[in-house]
Amino acid sequence: MEKITIDHPESQSSDLAAQHIEQLSQLFPEVIKEGKVDFEALQDLLGNYIDTPEERFQLNWAGKAQARREAQKRSTGTLRPCPDESVHWGTTENLYIEGDNLEVLKLLQKSYYKKVKMIYIDPPYNTGKDFVYKDNYSDNLTNYLELTGQDRSLGTNTESDGRYHSNWLNMMYPRLKLARNLLANDGVIFVSIDEIEYAKLRAICDEIFGEENHIADFVWHNKKGGGNDSKHVAVEHEYIVLYAKSKNELGELFIPYNPVYLTRYKEKDEKGSFYWDTFKRKSGKQYYPIICPDGTILEYDDLGNPISWLRSQTRFKDDLQKGEIRFLKINNKWSVQFKQRLPEGKKPRTIFLEDSIWDDVGTTSDGSEEVLNYFEKNVFNNPKPVELIKYIIGFNTKEKDIALDFFSGSGTTAEAVMRINSNDSSIKIKYILVQLPQKIELASDKNNMIAQNAIEVLKALNLPFFITELAKERIRRAGKKILEEFKIKQAKEGALFADEPEKLDIGFKVFKLDSSNINTWDSSPSNLEGALYNSVQNIKSDRTEHDLLYEILLKYGIDLVQPINEHVLVGKKVYEMGAGALIVCMADQVKPEVAEAIAQLWKEVKPTALDESSKAAINCRVVFKDNGFDDNNDKTNVLQILKQHGIDNVVTI
């Protein structure tokens, strides 16, 4: 029975470097020797396609090599579940994760690899007042735990710092590298930014996602009036940079029509909404005679000019046969009309003009007003408006897609997803939000009042003074309001939709970044006694079964919202998920009869139809606690019993 220790590959996040070597070996097996890349052999294969650094256009900065390596390093951390801080823990498919997003992104690599359809982030703009996390490349997880555990300020990135731009780039580069791995092949990423780091953001995104996968840079008119905060010109816009994981895999992008536009599509048939439009076009270039029902031929107008039609004669005949064309006689004159069908959506525009549909996305003041409705105070500094995030989420997301925001701040993305789902409960987009538990501190500038308001709100709720606590409370209140509005809407539409409110997911599971639940070996002589104890009791004493369970899910690449079924077998608690794909027992004093019960459970829950057709055992992995057996005889007997029932993958932690 294999034991999974803290140093075991399965106890850590994905080994991205090993994955890259494996991919390279599939293309060029001759350049991989003893698990390492022979770069001279690779260069010989590529020949003249190798560029020297002097010939290549690229962006370099102090720390880039370290930042690139950091994205490859594995994390030994875990995400600890917090059901008491969550909403609808047992049923929700949304996640709210507290922690340094660099470590969190590493931990999500196995469970969410290529599963995220859309990423939106609103990172620090590097204005000199923004917090910029300075990663400790030697041990980023320990550094994070020390900073947050000591309740220390996490600092800002000021222009007086000699590495002002480099610090920002070093923060962004590894996070974007890791985020790309999570995107589905047809996924996209949106990044909000202002003019300070816009050019550098484009440069690193070109490098990470590929210049060929750049879709557009949107200009968002985020302010109305004012502008006195700028010395030379009034800046009233920000950028939203859009990249695809692979433009070749990406389908068309659409934005929904506004209600005013939709009013003209009053007719409906089995194919959808439409209105009757004239087939005759002044700007058309299709000339041919059309015969009306009474034999009248339409070829020339009253002035003798040839009539031009919208579509070709072949297309006209096809549409006529399909019922897409009608003849209407008005004032004794024939009119040819066709069904103008409602397209899936409009093409997004790159500029958000004040007199266009883009004006519906709101401004930063609208974002503040939305939060004000929940707290009766301004508690966030310039949050993005919900309509903006709803708008861009709608570009390419469909039913059950995942939206990720790993600089989630005020939690706007969560509210945007819930509102999209409330408009159509069949969509069920899911979200993953990640946010550093940044302490809210009083400032010396105009933001001091906002910080004071936030502290007062949290104090009244008896919550710690962290931005994550404020964001979670905002999501709770937004969800409650959305559900109330949804029930009112459904009540007006009748009893047909009586069960729909229960289908609307306004919940979220809270997880917090922490060190692994498995003890590490401390080789220092001064702690020999403790190290020997930990080698036997290798699970940390302050950790629960649920802590261990979710670390196992992460290490085995299982979705954190995967339904978990709890059973009691021979008096021992057993967790089963994925139709028996994973069975976990963290109990003490496990005896052979427990193994028999687990084998029986597996036979009951596994998909038997698939088993019979393939005539092979469904893959099942069983995990025990290493010190959960009284002796080695029990451990050996349990292993042998499970093997007799076709379960070979049995490990301990």
* Contact between 107 and 75 (Cβ < 8 Å): yes
pLDDT of residue 174: 96
Pairing of strands 272-278, 333-341: antiparallel
How do residues 118-153 score in pLDDT, each as one tens digit?
Answer: 999 999 987 666 555 666 666 677 777 776 776 555
Range from 42-56, 213-227, 230-244, 395-409 carrying the lowest mean pLDDT: 42-56
* DSSP annotation string for 134-175: ---TT-HHHHHHHHHHTT-------TTSTTHHHHHHHHHHHH
218-248: b or e for each residue (b if 16 or more CB lie within 10 Å)? bbbbbbeeeeeeeeeeeebebbbbbbbbeee
pLDDT at 611 over 70: no
pLDDT at 527 over 70: no
pLDDT of residue 615: 39
Share of the chain above pLDDT 90, in %: 57
In Å, what is the CA distance from 181 to each residue of 101, 111, 123, 381?
14, 11, 19, 31
Cα-to-chain-centroid distance, residue 570: 40
Q: Which of 385, 366, 381, 365 is nearest to 450 (CA)?
A: 381
pLDDT at 396 over 80: yes
Q: Which alpha helices (H) appear in 515-619, and where do they start and end?
A: 528-536, 545-555, 592-605, 608-614
Place of tokens 């029902």: 293
**Rounded to the nearest 5°, which phi and psi values hold at 337?**
-130, 155
Q: Would you tell me how many other CB atoms lie within 10 Å of the CB of residue 46?
A: 11
The whole-angstrom separation of Cα 552 and Cα 582 is: 10
Helix (H) or strand (E) holding 184: strand 183-193
What is the DSSP code (8-state) at residue 405?
Answer: E
The whole-angstrom separation of Cα 305 and Cα 392 is: 47
When pLDDT is cut at 50, 70 and 90, the band that residue 459 belongs to is: very high
Dihedral sign of CA atoms 230, 231, 234, 239 in order? negative
Residue type at position 553: L
pLDDT at 101 over 70: yes
The whole-angstrom separation of Cα 638 and Cα 596 is: 8
* Planar angle of CA 439, 169, 167, nearest 5 degrees: 55
What is the DSSP code (8-state) at residue 527?
Answer: G
When pLDDT is cut at 50, 70 and 90, the band that residue 446 belongs to is: low
Identify the structural domains of the chain with CATH numbers, from first to last.
15-72 (no CATH), 77-256+348-511 (3.40.50.150), 259-341 (no CATH)
Cα-to-chain-centroid distance, residue 302: 61
What mean pLDDT comes out for the span 257-280?
87
Q: In the predicted model, what is the mean pLDDT of the chain?
A: 85
pLDDT at 534 over 80: no
pLDDT of residue 579: 87
pLDDT of residue 520: 67
Q: Which of 230, 229, 237 is nearest to 195 (CA)?
A: 237
Q: Is 120 exposed, middle or buried (0-12, 13-18, 19+ CB in 10 A)?
A: buried
What is the DSSP code (8-state) at residue 115?
Answer: T
> 236 vs 353, which has greater pLDDT?
236
pLDDT of residue 20: 72
433-449: b or e for each residue (b if 16 or more CB lie within 10 Å)? bbbbbbbbeeeeeeeee
* Contact between 541 and 579 (Cβ < 8 Å): no
Q: Which of 366, 191, 190, 340 is nearest to 272 (CA)?
A: 340
Q: 346 forms bridges with which residues in the sheet?
A: 255
What mean pLDDT comes out for the span 100-113?
96
Q: Would you tell me how many other CB atoms lie within 10 Å of the CB of residue 285?
A: 9
Cα-to-chain-centroid distance, residue 423: 20
pLDDT at 532 over 70: no
The whole-angstrom separation of Cα 196 and Cα 173 is: 16
When pLDDT is cut at 50, 70 and 90, the band that residue 522 belongs to is: very low
* Contact between 181 and 109 (Cβ < 8 Å): yes
53-79: b or e for each residue (b if 16 or more CB lie within 10 Å)? eeeeeeeebebbeebeebbbbbbbbbb
Q: Would you tell me how many other CB atoms lie within 10 Å of the CB of residue 494?
A: 8
pLDDT of residue 227: 56
Range from 216-220, 303-307, 612-616, 635-639 carrying the lowest mean pLDDT: 612-616
How do residues 277-301 score in pLDDT, each as one tens digit?
Answer: 999 998 778 999 999 999 999 999 9
When pLDDT is cut at 50, 70 and 90, the band that residue 2 belongs to is: low
How do residues 477-502 score in pLDDT, each as one tens digit?
Answer: 999 999 999 888 878 766 555 556 67
When pLDDT is cut at 50, 70 and 90, the band that residue 248 belongs to is: very high
Q: 183 forms bridges with which residues in the sheet?
A: 116
pLDDT of residue 612: 45
636-648: b or e for each residue (b if 16 or more CB lie within 10 Å)? ebbbebbeebbbe
How do residues 87-99 score in pLDDT, each as one tens digit?
Answer: 999 999 999 999 9
pLDDT of residue 150: 61
* Contact between 417 and 96 (Cβ < 8 Å): no
When pLDDT is cut at 50, 70 and 90, the band that residue 336 belongs to is: very high
Place of tokens 């302010």: 223
